[in-house]
Structure 1
Amino acid sequence: MSRFADQTVLVTGGSGGQGASHVRALHAEGANVVIGGIDADRGAGLAAELGHRALSVRLDVTREESWAAAVAETEEAFGALTILVNNAGVQNPPAVIESTDLATWARILDVNLTGTFLGIRAAAPALRRAGGGTIVNIGSTTGLGGTALYAPYVAGKWAVRGLTRTAALELGRDNIRVNAIHPGVVATPFITEPAAGSDAPIADFYSPEPFAVPRLGQPADITALLLFLTSPDAAFITGTEYVIDGGLLLGPALKNGSPS
């Protein structure tokens, strides 16, 4: 299939677990892909693996000038930017609010919230130049409820929801759609390996046993939804939030299935 022929997508955090999944799938369906991230070597490796129609750019999502350079490189290489996936994110080491230092708070919000804000701001003019496009912000189910020990991360993801809706209202008349995806617990290094400054991965705090679908999510699960939201099939969808969590937020499932 080539649903994304003649489309150019910039994915932040594009060489990580979920990001690389998104990049590979979009490329397979015909898109030009731009892999944005701090780790230029890892991004370059993925671009080399994909070959034609793939570009790696160094992108620090917290810096305006880095965003400007990434958008300029994208347009220089492929002529237009039509899709932005704000996927980059970092996690705080688990700590109660009283033990969370201000530097940690500021760093998490800087990447997860300000980075998304700067991405929308930098991409909007390019999307207008292209005649329209779409932005997808990757949030989290933590943005729909409280999660002990992760206050900075939770606060940032809650704020991304309001940012998504506001951007959808502001950009809709420019033929730019803006939506959010809120993954649950997904089996990537982000979840299965300890965050910086922590001894335990997030996965240690969760068991999928109570979920309606009793397993951790896989990057491909999130990618499938992303492909829909960025495709022409979703042309009438904007300002929405999609939860994909295997039923995590529904509450505990029946332990042994349906009663007889």
Structure 2
Amino acid sequence: MLRTVKVIVVMLVVLALAVAGCGGQQAKDTKDSKQTSAQTGGGQQPTGKQKILVASDTAYAPFEFQDPNTGKYVGFDMELIQAIAEVNNWDYEIRSMNFDGIVPALQSASVDLAISAMTITDKRKEQVNFSLPYYQSGQCVAVKASNNTIKGFDDLAGKKIGVQIATTGADEARKIPGAKITDYNTINEAFMALKNGNVDAVVNDYPVTFYFIQQGNKDVKIVGDLRTSEFYGIAVPKSKPDILEKVNSALKTLKENGKYAEIYKKWFGKEPPEFLPGEPPAK
């Protein structure tokens, strides 16, 4: 009898260990599944909504930046992607990264799209697909307010110029004869270098530079005319044409129902150009 009881006890212990092992493995599998879904994006959520991973350089006010009080990402681009997600019934997650890392992330499809004040260029179109244009911009020159010698692009030859890495501002600055270019990871670093006297000027997108000055940085000014006319687009991996189609369809919807104009006026204080979002009129 005693032997029989011992055998039963041993069998119960073995059975308990087996069940625990299966439960632990199931928990691990569930955890791994969640991690994979978060990493690859495009997954289906318990809500039935598609999960979209969105890359953005979240240090580029007023398009994308972190609210110091709430810690949330805010800005024109952030409200636009929220509106696009609502139209498409998407859940979305912002993946903050340096601007020069966005195109590689799109090429590897580790994100589903990127909204980051990204100018549509022929070079970038070889690497990713772009949505309809949703903003018109241009490059400007910023100098210290006390600087009266630099009055525009024509005065930058041989000067020290700060730019954000991998931007069209950096491309434009490198066309200037004899200019000494310093690339910074964020535009705020370039602005700080200007204020500290490490560079003579900063070449950057006009709305971002204007917004920076309006935030109390009156020791900086914009000089001269805009050098370029550029259009921002939402970038999508070439392997995700379905995402691109839904983005463009949503942009058209937001234009028709007035939501795009509402967001634009909130951040820029004026009506958007009539053709946006959309292709510019032929010259």
TM-score normalised to the size of structure 1?
Answer: 0.33
Choose between structure 1 and 2 for higher RCO, CA contacts under 8 A separated by at least 6 residues. Answer: 2
| Greater helix proportion | 1
| Greater strand proportion | 2
- Largest Rg, 1 or 2: 2
